[in-house]
Amino acid sequence: MASQQKVTEETHALADFNVIPIGSGSTSISEYIAETQKVLKESGLNYKLHACGTNVEGKWDEVMSTIRKCVDRLHEMGVSRVDTNIRINASTRNDKKMTLDDSIRITNEKM
């Protein structure tokens, strides 16, 4: 029988998220995405921008807090509504710890 795991503030999390500013008055969102990247840089977490969002990894609470700061930053910029989509891979495995780079490397090795 496998041991039971719990998600704690120390759990390693890989998240894929995007924020969509609604009511910004502009059809371009690049300035808002640039601001979220600044928030991520300030966080010290490992992150990678991609065409449809951003991957970020770190301790569960740090990742969630940083995503919230990204949303807060858009509101500070005058955005009245922010639609946020988050997918999380929490490494609650007890056999190994996977990082963002590990996930990409392992998949590439199989191609």
Nearest Cα residue to 17 out of 27, 45, 42: 45
The CATH number assigned to the domain with range 12-109 reads 3.30.70.930
Model pLDDT for residues 27-40, shown as the tens digit of each residue: 889 999 999 999 99
Model pLDDT for residues 47-88, shown as the tens digit of each residue: 999 999 999 999 999 999 999 999 999 999 999 999 999 999
48 burial level (CB within 10 Å; 0-12, 13-18, 19+): middle
A 10 A CB-CB count for 101 gives: 11
> What pTM was computed for the model?
0.84
* DSSP reduced 3-state for 11: coil
List, edge to edge, every strand of the sheet that includes 53-59: 46-50, 53-59, 12-22, 81-90
